[in-house]
Structure 1
Amino acid sequence: MKKFFQQYYTNLFLNDRLFAALGVCVVLFLLKFFFAWLGEVPVIATGVLLAFFLIDLFILYRIRQGVNARRFTPKRLSNGDENPIQIEIKNSYGFGVNARVIDEVPFQFQIRDKDFRFALKPAEIKSIHYNLRPTKRGEYNFGLIRAYISSPIGLISRRYNLATANTLPVYPSFINLGQYELMAISHQLTELGIKKIRKIGQSTEFDQIKNYVGGDDIRTINWKATARKGGLMVNTYTDERSQNIYCIIDKSRVMRMPFEGLSLLDYAINASVALAKVAMLKEDKAGLITVSETIGSVVPADRKAAQLGNIMNVLYKEKTRYLESNLEALYSTVRSVVKQRGLLIFFTNFESMSALQRQLPYLRRLAKYHLLLVVFFENTELSALSMEPAKDIEGIYHKTIAEKFVYEKRLMVKELNKNGILSILTPPQKLTVNVVNQYLALKAQQRI
């Protein structure tokens, strides 16, 4: 009895059309007091409405499962990217129905309007497509698919609770890794707004001996091979391989600042994954170190096939902390883990010159043994404010303060360069492109 009640009453909803028809019946009964000639019209109208209500109830509930739906999602979602979601719904009734489908998306999105309305012909299958953009890593729980079905009569709707609730992990951004892979292979960087890099010098890692063609450097002619072959032969060289590339991610409070829904830590994580992919494609070894008030995760540099998955599994769980980073512990860890000279890319943020000065001694010590690249972020809101014309005294004050902070960021770049430390000052949205480009530039210049 309880199951019967749940099936027929808890999933039964009255539509606006029924309330409108009941309102007409009430008006007819009221008018009957003033116009006797209406006679039994109100009673007949009410009876007809009741008959249609029962017919509508019967045709909607006469079969057990009138519609079926499935949700198609990726195995994991990419943080900060548009992820495609698909719902497929099929009408098993012998007549056309009107459907209202509500997908219960994870609460992290704070979306209450994933509401789709459409008509379904008999036995028709329709697909619904939409995108979701997560802004935090972690687990996201999808609920049920609620389908409200009404017949052509349209007095009532029957609710179907379709599909099953499922949980999807949100990993660091991986959807756009293919485009950075293409960058590394083809060097077609202008499509992404990146200038081409002029190669300096010549690598010493031997590749092969080939026939001389016009334009080859005559200094690379292999005279022994030329004597044996009877024609000019030249040596070709390739970029040096198996270099250690470590992404060091600061998890302290300075990385909590949000930008377009993502924190600076998330931008750094997404850039690290893309850089690891490109580095391994260039046959270098990619590694990872995270640091806050203590050392977090350490993934030794490697270029095996599973390395990128290992890095993503570590970064999937990383969160920002509330204390300042301990660079002394970072220096000790780097000295013990990274035995050979390599490229260290340190993702952090400095909001004042005093903050940089506190960390500079440790950065200089790291740069003594490795090629250090410090990546920190431009405050785009302050930059925009500094460019706007001031309209009043308060505006002049705000503009002056904004210009001071923008200028101080540029001073930080000069201070790092003065101490022999490479740096990138970048807007968050351009972080990945700028870091990958800088890595390819250092590779081309044989700095690593």
Structure 2
Amino acid sequence: MIVPTRQFVSLALVPLTLSLGLYVFPSATAIILVLDFLLAIFALIDFFTIPQHRHITFTRNVRGVATRGEKHPVELIVGNRTHRELSVHIRDDLDPTFDVEEDLIVSSIPARSQMAYRYQFSPMRRGEYVMKHVHLMLRSRFGLWKRHLKAGPRQTIRVYPALKQISRFAMYARQNKMSLLGLRRSRRAGNDNEFERLRDYTHDDQFKAIDWRATSRRLKLTVRDFQSNQSQRIIFMIDCGRMMVNESNGFSLFDAAIDAALTLGYVALSRQDQVGLMCFNSQVVRWIPPKAGRSHLNTLVHAVHNIEPELVESRFDEAFLHLHRHCRKRSLVVVLSNVIDDRNAQSIQAQTTHLVGQHLPMTVLFRDHELFQPIDHALAQPELASLNDSSLFRAAASADILLWREEVLTNMRHAGVLTLDVFPENLTAPLINEYLRIKAQMLL
């Protein structure tokens, strides 16, 4: 598309303004016509200097896989085949959910050369996104015209869940600093353990675990680490219905569930356990059978990267029926969902309690900051009399809902279901600690 520039419009206003003087000086008509003719000739000459599509070469270099919340580099290489310098404006075709530092690049490309431009964007949501074209705006030699071009092939960007927790966990595991993540060391009861590694002594280790031969060689207290030699199963059932649409700190509850599930999946796979995953709402959206091996983590990450929660009622009965058909071996079944009303609470409770005996069910529910804030605000006041009626009503309503949630969780625990009730941003460490406790006490 070719359009005139502001410079051309400003230049065209000159004879237009002078033509208003014809009312006073009618004899100047010839001069105005000459100016119009010269301007038209000048604009026509400049029109033929507009760069064509063949005068531009373009390449976009970008990796096809990005991580949610992490900066992703892009390189744009634009070549100029003409014999003059080109002024160019460049804007890439990015999704509105991407956070980009600078979306418009203004530059000049010397004659018969090419320039490389680099920028970064941060995808804020998982999924698959298509970068269609790069939009270029090129000016004519004298700047009276500009042409809008679309260049570059369509490229698909897969945005995966944030894996920062997994990398941080792996780093602290190598450095024996797991306590910094809020994790507690849990050893398996009894002697049915196999040797894993030697490591430095810490204050919470037992003296009988010290390897005195290794200590004498290293001149440093060294203990033996043991691990379970039994491969077991853990299956995540992640609700992606209406109860997981709510957001916390800018991310949905579903994102928090995925991040925690993948981190625990990494821990379980590192311990030679088998990990499976199911995402469901009104139907089973995704099912990944349990499998061992660290390479299986890539399968799990790819399986959930383009799933989004929907405003539909979740069918727990369909999901648990699918689990019964495809998983008969005893497993730790982690259900990540939320309760908002009696309907979904009764559905979760009925289905998880039916698993007791055949499997070991664990229900993970997410707390809502908006329910706790009115109560915290009321308790922070030195006297309740200083609160107005509206604050007291909100605090009382929040307390009533929290008591109802606690009753739901208590009923599940009495039926033999393990439970966790945490804020979304604090889920990972308690979930891993519960898994380690289950392994240590041989509950599976």
Q: Indicate whether the TM-score tops 0.5.
A: yes
Q: How does 1:288-303 map to 2 (within 5 A)?
A: 288-292=277-281, 297-303=286-292
Written as runs of structure 1 = structure 2, the 5 A alignment for 1:264-303 is 264-292=253-281, 297-303=286-292
Instruction: Report if the CA contact (8 A) 1:331-1:365 is conserved.
Output: no
Per-residue CA distance 1:405-428 (angstroms, 9 max, x = gap): 344434544444454433222333
d(CA) in 1 for partners of 2:323, 2:399: 38
CA distance in 2, matches of 1:129, 1:221: 53
State how far apart, in whole Å, the 2-side matches of 1:284 and 1:252 are. 28
Q: Which residue of 1 aligns with 2:58?
A: 69
Go from structure 1 to structure 2 and tell me whether the alpha carbon gap of 1:117 and 1:205 turns closer, same or farther (over 3 Å shift).
Answer: same
**Matching of residue 347 in structure 1 with residue 336 in structure 2:** yes
Residue in structure 2 matched with residue 25 of structure 1 by the alignment: 15
Quick check: 2:66–2:158 contact (8 Å CA) kept in 1? yes
Q: How many residues align?
A: 423
Verify the 8 A CA contact 1:120 1:126 in the aligned structure 2: no
Cα offset, 1:118, TM superposition: 1.0
TM-aligned CA deviation for residue 157 of structure 1: 0.9
SS of corresponding position for 2:130: strand
* Corresponding position of 1:424: 420
**SS of residue matched to 1:154:** coil
- The corresponding residue for 1:116 is 104
Q: Does the aligned pair in 1 maintain the 2:284–2:318 contact within 8 Å?
A: no
Q: Deviations over 1:284-317 (max 9, x none)?
A: 2212234556666543322135422333444356
Q: Are 1:382 and 2:371 an aligned pair?
A: yes
Task: Give the partner amino acid of 2:61.
Answer: F
Aligned-partner Cα distance in 2 for 1:316–1:210:
37
Secondary structure in 1 matching 2:12: helix
Give the CA deviation at 1:377.
Answer: 1.1
Partner SS state of residue 107, structure 2: strand
| Aligned residue in 2 for 1:127 | 117
**Alpha-carbon distance, 1:148 to partner:** 0.5
Amino acid of the structure 1 residue aligned with 2:227: D
Pairs within 5 Å for 1:178-193: 178-189=167-178
Q: TM-score, normalised by structure 1?
A: 0.75
The residue aligned with 2:393 is: 397
Distance 1:301 1:221 in 2: 36
Deviation at 1:165, TM superposition (A): 2.1
Give the fraction of aligned pairs with identical amino acids, expressed as a percent.
18
Structure 1 residues 201, 434: closer, same or farther in 2, change over 3 A?
Answer: closer
Give the drift of 1:443: 5.0
Q: What is the RMSD computed on CA atoms of the aligned residues? A: 4.4
* Alpha-carbon displacement from aligned partner over 1:176-226 (angstroms, at most 9, x marks no partner): 6423433444453466xx324244566632217989999996646999x99
Q: Offset at 1:112?
A: 12
Alignment of structure 1 residues 148-227 onto 2, 5 Å = 148-151=137-140, 153-174=142-163, 177-189=166-178, 194-199=181-186, 204-207=192-195, 219=208
The Cα shift of 1:128 comes to 3.9
Pair 1:111–1:306, CA change in 2 (3 A): closer
Counterpart amino acid of residue 323 in structure 1:
E
- 2:382 alignment partner in structure 1: none
Q: Residues 89 and 136 of structure 2 are in contact (CA less than 8 Å); yes or no, is this contact kept in structure 1? A: yes
1:353, 1:412 within 8 Å by CA — same for their partners in 2? no
Q: Which residue of 2 aligns with 1:4?
A: none
- 1:347: Cα distance to partner? 0.7
Structure 1: gaps of 5 or more residues = 1-10, 227-233
Give the gaps of 5 or more residues in structure 2: 215-221, 379-385
Match of 1:409 in 2: 405
Sort the Cα spacing of 1:96 and 1:351 in 2 relative to 1 into closer, same or farther, 3 A. same
2:219 is aligned to none
Residue 88, structure 1, aligned to residue 76, structure 2: yes
SS of the equivalent of 2:50 reads: helix
Match status 1:250 vs 2:239: yes
Matched position secondary structure for 1:397: helix
Cα distance change, pair 397–55 in 1 and its aligned pair in 2 (3 A): farther
Matched, 1:364 2:360: no
Whole-Å separation in 1 of the counterparts to 2:338 and 2:202 = 49
Report the secondary structure of 1:130's partner residue: strand
